[in-house]
């Protein structure tokens, strides 16, 4: 059994997710040139990256090799409490839930090459992998990219240069490889700015 510092810090108990600090595999990332190249200043993508927690609320194949998801912001509710995991006790854990105050975002890929969904409990990031962003990531080097280059004939010539996008939620991690960037819009919740934002390649 690992020590308390090694335990994944988003804890699930009785169907609830608890937050302490960020899991070790979520690294703080600087603002990137890629993520900044989005329409109109503060964007939905930067809002997603500012969310402390995300939950996958909807997932569907929206058409022929199209993918649509919705993610909802997790908000701390209730008082902090201590959680016992094995022989370790982790203090100051606060439940995270989707509430009427949560922002909800739609992310839509018009065409994908491949996507995979991972149980977040098994997520990790190798030291050699490189990405920008936090909850909405763009990888320039990853095991997923390497696997795709070996397992498929997708290449720069066909269907064209691809990019690895990753959406990090509680319980789920979605990896998508696509030629075109996704369209992102906030469908519920206040903020911070309206309109749709699309990554510019």
The 10s digit of each residue's pLDDT in 64-87 is 899 999 999 999 998 888 888 888
| Reported confidence tier of residue 94, pLDDT bands at 50, 70, 90 | confident
Sign of the C-alpha dihedral, residues 45, 46, 49, 50? negative
CA dist 191 and 194 (Å) reads 8
Assess whether pLDDT exceeds 90 at residue 178: yes
pLDDT of residue 72: 97
pLDDT of residue 18: 64
The 10s digit of each residue's pLDDT in 110-162 is 999 999 999 998 988 888 999 999 999 999 999 999 999 999 999 999 999 99
CB environment 140-163: b (16+ within 10 A), e (fewer): eebebbeebeeeeebeeeeeeebb
Assess whether pLDDT exceeds 90 at residue 194: no
What would the mean pLDDT of 99-105 be, rounded to a whole number?
Answer: 94
Cβ pair 153, 114 in contact under 8 A: no
pLDDT of residue 84: 84
The 10s digit of each residue's pLDDT in 3-38 is 433 344 445 444 556 665 555 445 544 445 555 444
pLDDT of residue 3: 40
Instruction: Give me the residue spans of the domains in the chain.
Output: 10-198
């Amino acid at each position: 059994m690992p020590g308390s510092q090694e335990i994944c810090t988003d804890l699930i108990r009785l169907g609830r997710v608890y937050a302490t600090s960020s899991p070790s595999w979520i690294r703080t990332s600087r603002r990137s040139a890629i993520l900044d190249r989005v329409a109109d200043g503060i964007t939905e993508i930067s809002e997603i990256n500012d969310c402390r927690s995300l939950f996958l609320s909807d997932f569907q194949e929206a058409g022929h090799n199209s993918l649509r998801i919705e993610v909802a912001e997790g908000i701390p509710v209730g008082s902090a409490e201590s959680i016992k995991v094995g022989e370790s006790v982790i203090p100051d854990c606060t439940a995270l839930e989707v509430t009427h105050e949560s922002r909800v975002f739609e992310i839509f890929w018009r065409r994908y090459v491949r996507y995979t969904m991972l149980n977040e409990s098994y997520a990790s990031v190798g030291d050699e992998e490189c990405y920008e962003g936090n909850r909405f990531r763009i990888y320039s080097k990853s095991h997923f990219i390497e696997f795709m280059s070996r397992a498929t004939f997708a290449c720069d010539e066909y269907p064209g240069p691809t990019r690895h996008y990753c959406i990090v939620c509680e319980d789920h991690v979605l990896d998508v490889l696509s030629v075109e960037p996704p369209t992102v819009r906030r469908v519920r919740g206040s903020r911070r700015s309206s309109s749709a934002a699309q990554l510019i390649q």
